[in-house]
Amino acid sequence: MVDVVQHRTRRLALRRAVLALAAPLAVGLLAPVAPAFADGEGHGRGGGGGRPDATPVATSVGTGGAVTSVDASASQVGIDVLRRGGNAADAAVATAAALGVTEPYSAGIGGGGYFVHFDAATGEVTTIDGRETAPAGMPTDAFIDPATGAPYRFSPELVSSGVAVGVPGTLATWEAALDRFGTKDLKQVLHPAIQLAKHGFPVDETFRSQTLDNKARFAAFPDTAELFLPGGDAPQVGTTFRNPDLADTLSLIAKQGTHVFYEGPIADEIADVVQHPRKDPASPLPAPPGTLTADDLAAYEVIDQAPTHVEYRGLDVYGMAPSSSGGTTVGEALNILENHDLTSASTGQALHLFLEASARAFADRNAYVGDPAFVDVPTETLLSQEFADARDCTIDPDAASTRPVPAGALDAEGCAAVASEERADTENVSTTHLSVVDRWGNAVAYTLTIEQTGGSGMTVPGRGFLLNNELTDFSTVYSETDPNRIEPGKRPRSSMSPTIVLDDGEVRFVLGSPGGATIITTVLQILMNRIDLGMTLPEAVAAPRASQRNAASTPAEPGFIAEYADDLAPFGQVLVPSGDLLTSAAQIGAAATIEVGDDGVMTAAAEPVRRGGGAGLVVRPAR
């Protein structure tokens, strides 16, 4: 691995911020790994859930394989698969299926995602694009209210509607991943999730609060209210939440295959719900219908494509290519930072450059990135060092730029920029990510989502899963110059950034995060923290975050403002609190990461605090 220059003064300053956020981390490093389970009964979600005899840990160190996710039960499912001889792909799919049970407002078979895989035997990184797609009959004015001629309000009309539902890609992703990389079949890897849905898991504060945050939306749809609002209230903390309908649905898929979802009765039921939302007549929620059909489901296919790739400090960084903007935007920002010696810079200087690089990468993302099947995305240019150098020369190392900054000119030399439209980004923060490395050195970074917390709010009757509202990631106002405009059959642009970093052909880091457009800055900041600023991986994950996305001011977590506002003030960087300081909306991201050392020892580091805390587990913990 590249040498990391550690400066004691900066490291102590950074550690003060880390300790404020990650008080439980030291305990987590020494806590025992939750024991494996056979029947899936009684497992909890998040950092606060789990069996009475299982202590969720944010970070574990050891060998034999590693799994990290936001949920203790899901991480344990993945570890059990690795212990029983499964590989990284097997464990990733099993973990994702479990997340669909315990994190139903963030993931599930009603959504989609991006799967990045490293094959240790061949040294090849490949990807599966399982992003949701717009129906074939979706008009370009789908987000316009025909009654008024004006755009639907993003909330509540658009997010809770049939018009926002894209064709789900999650099951097709699982099938493709197992067929190409796995050693287990779908029936085997779905079994733990089926048991988890059948027997239930303890409700924690995160699950209850997310339900209450969506109470008005969920109450508008009787099928959703019956499942998630029994008796008119969110499940109480400490009670057991069971989803027998989902257990039956997953069992049916395990027995008959994914065609029962894409071409069988479930497809007809999904289409019917989208076209005729089942809404309580007493609810004021408009819930406009969509155009998705059973034929759209039957026609769905995942897309195989090459990953994005840049070199950073001698490491090979691989990510997800468009339709995701994650790989190109993270890659471009890293290429800009490559020109600067961050290890020798002051804390303020390093963070100033991080914010300025991110602003430029986002300007270019917004101007040029969309679904490459519909848009000529200049991926090669955006990832070139020459383009990054041209963008870097627009950065004043001593002063913040006036933002938003214009996009870079693709065919010009020097520091040329082009006029670009400023567009609102409607991508929601609720998603989930998992990282896996197995004993053979294979690795998976997988980010999956149903978009909004709770997706569209619509549950397929008797099936136990929520449908996504992923099409709200399209620009709300149609423009011929917008690469992310609505088009039939198109995949909306995403910020999901599953990332695998190789060092001399072997896995060094696997990482990703939820968080909408803040996913990109979260992944970028963790890499900078670990590679340049001398933090350990757990410190890099726990450290307070900021997210500059080409805006006049930079949203930042309270801890970031408290620790770094004075350092950044001389550069003119303006920090504003992210979200509501009284809720988890103030938190940026919820990363799940793994590092493999030169000696093969793995560090599985999940969030110690954010989103209730995650679980990083290894097969054989170090003593």
Closest to 194 in 3D by CA, of 186, 202, 182, 183? 186
- Give the span between the Cα atoms of 75 and 62, in whole angstroms: 15
- DSSP class of residue 468? P
Q: Is the CB of residue 134 less than 8 Å from the CB of residue 154? A: no
Q: Tell me the residue ranges of DSSP E strands in 450-549.
A: 499-503, 506-511
- DSSP class of residue 133? B
Residue 162 in marked binding region? no
User: How many beta carbons lie within 10 A of that of residue 6, not counting itself?
Assistant: 11
Residue 39 in marked binding region? no
Q: Is the CB of residue 132 less than 8 Å from the CB of residue 111? A: yes
Closest to 578 in 3D by CA, of 517, 494, 511? 517
Closest to 344 in 3D by CA, of 563, 534, 546? 534
| Strand 201-202 relative to strand 303-305, pairing | unpaired
Phi, psi for 282 (deg, rounded to 5): -80, -15
Cα 123 versus chain centre, distance? 25
127: which strand partners?
Answer: 116, 305
Whether 431 sits among the annotated catalytic residues: the reply is yes
Residue 360 in marked binding region? no
Q: Is the CB of residue 50 less than 8 Å from the CB of residue 43? A: yes
Residue 473 in marked binding region? yes
Residue 515 in marked binding region? no
Q: What is the largest CA-CA distance in the chain?
A: 66
And the tokens for 292? 């998705």
User: How many beta carbons lie within 10 A of that of residue 421, not counting itself?
Assistant: 12
Catalytic residue among 127, 249, 291, 431: 431
Q: What single-letter amino acid sits at 573?
A: Q
Q: Which residues define the annotated binding site?
A: 131, 473, 494-495, 516
Q: Which residues define the annotated binding site for L-glutamate?
A: 131, 473, 494-495, 516
Q: Which residues are catalytic?
A: 431
